[in-house]
Structure 1
Amino acid sequence: MPGELTQLLHAASDGDQPALNRLVALLYLDLKQLAHRCRKGSQAVDTTSLVHECYLRFLDSGDLALNDRAHFFNLAARVMRQLICDFAREQLADKRGGGATHFELRESDAVEYREAEHCLAVDQALERLAELHPDRARVVECRYFAGLTEEETAEAVGRSLRSVQRDWQHARDWLGRRLEA
């Protein structure tokens, strides 16, 4: 199985669509778990739709440059985070009249809007962290969004376990302060 997975990763990186199809089929349940973690309780988009949209983005990209399984899931988590943020932006635009149809706001709508605002606040904070400390931002993507262990994260980012642990702690502290402000 690892041999087949590695071959599929390399073939998908070279733009082989059937290899990408097979890769996604093999890792579908893992991708669904990843999507569930990326949603973090948000009701904005369902898990299956998130996996399918991620797959479509992979198809559209053409150039995936996949190194290994951890890198694949890190990339998938990044794409899923972008998709969730895109959906949150759409929700907030509709809230502000982007849809031009007026309706009565229900409590469930207010909860969804707060979730959308929080999602975008986390995304903006992570983007700012990436500007200041790109290594720390990559660790957050691996740990928080992709759900990788510290060891898997170290492998995915090509750094020592201790460096990843230190970056994870610093990033959590920084993001916590940023989101409280």
Structure 2
Amino acid sequence: MGEVTELLCKLRLGDAGASEGLLRSVYKELRSIAELQFADEYCERTLQPTALVNEAYLRLVSGGRLQKFDSRGHFFAAAAEAMRRILIDAARARGSQKRGGHYRRVELGELADESRHATDLLLDLDDGLQRLVAVDNDSANLVKLRVFAGLSITEAGELLGMSRSTAYKNWQFARTWFAVRWEK
């Protein structure tokens, strides 16, 4: 049994000290996942990778008690999902601000605000994922791990208990599904 899985078991049994050990064990990996979230984002943002990791960890530790996780993979899948939800919430907040909630002066000749484009794409992706869950939950979970945790198709498939070929089939299905959805 790995260190993370051991700490998750201790937490389930009520060992309060295991929470600090778990954070120390997973922080670097969670930070890498968070940095991947911001790698392609060129906009001004208030949320930084460290804040994203901290917020996601706090969401996973509800009321001072860690949710029940079966394995290291289950924990990281939940962390990636928590980060996705935080980013979606932040994108929605930026979206409401752009509709007049927060005015700012724009100089003539200034380039188009790329954060609007990134916000719209993130919200479209979230909407698409919500719809894909209804069609094929396994493919939607695979997309979440690929896009929000930065895992390869094989790694994401392993975390979800899929064979390599099934993971690639689900990935291809999701790509095709999104392509058809965006053509309309």
TM-score range, shorter chain: 0.7 to 0.9
Residue identity (%) = 33
Note the 1:165-176 alignment, pairs <5 A.
165-176=168-179
Q: Which moved more, 1:150-159 or 1:162-171?
A: 150-159
Structure with the higher helix share, 1 or 2: 1
What secondary structure is seen at the aligned counterpart in 1 of 2:67? coil
Residue 159 (structure 1) aligned with residue 159 (structure 2): no
User: For each residue in 1:110-164, what CA deviation from the matched residue of structure 2 results, as whole angstroms up to 9, or x when unmatched?
Assistant: 2112111111011111111011110110111122222223333233212222111
Structure 2 residue aligned with 1:88: 91
What is the TM-score with the length of structure 2 in the denominator? Answer: 0.84
Q: Distance in 1 between matches of 2:128 and 2:14?
A: 33
Q: 1: CA distance between counterparts of 2:111 and 2:90?
A: 16
- d(CA) in 2 for partners of 1:178, 1:105: 34
Partner Cα separation in structure 1 for residue 2 and residue 80 of structure 2: 23
Residue correspondence of structure 1 range 1-181 to structure 2 within 5 A: 3-13=2-12, 16-42=15-41, 43=43, 44=45, 45-60=47-62, 62=65, 64-99=67-102, 102-105=103-106, 107=110, 110-181=113-184
Q: Which runs of 5+ in 2 are unaligned?
A: none
Listed one character per residue, the Cα deviations across residues 10-53 of structure 1 (whole Å, up to 9, x for unaligned) are 23345655323211211111111111123342243321111111
Which residue identity lines up with residue 30 of structure 2 in the other structure? L
RMSD of equivalent CA atoms: 2.3
Q: Which sections of structure 1, spanning at least 5 residues, go unmatched?
A: none
Q: TM-score, normalised by structure 1?
A: 0.85
1:85 is displaced (CA, Å) by 0.7
Instruction: Name the CA distance, whole Å, in 1 between partners of 2:147 and 2:104.
Output: 36
Change beyond 3 A, Cα 1:24–1:103: same
Whether the 8 Å CA contact 1:34–1:147 is kept in 2: the answer is yes
TM superposition shift of 1:91: 0.6
Q: For the residues of structure 1 that align with 2:90 and 2:28, how far apart are their CA atoms?
A: 23
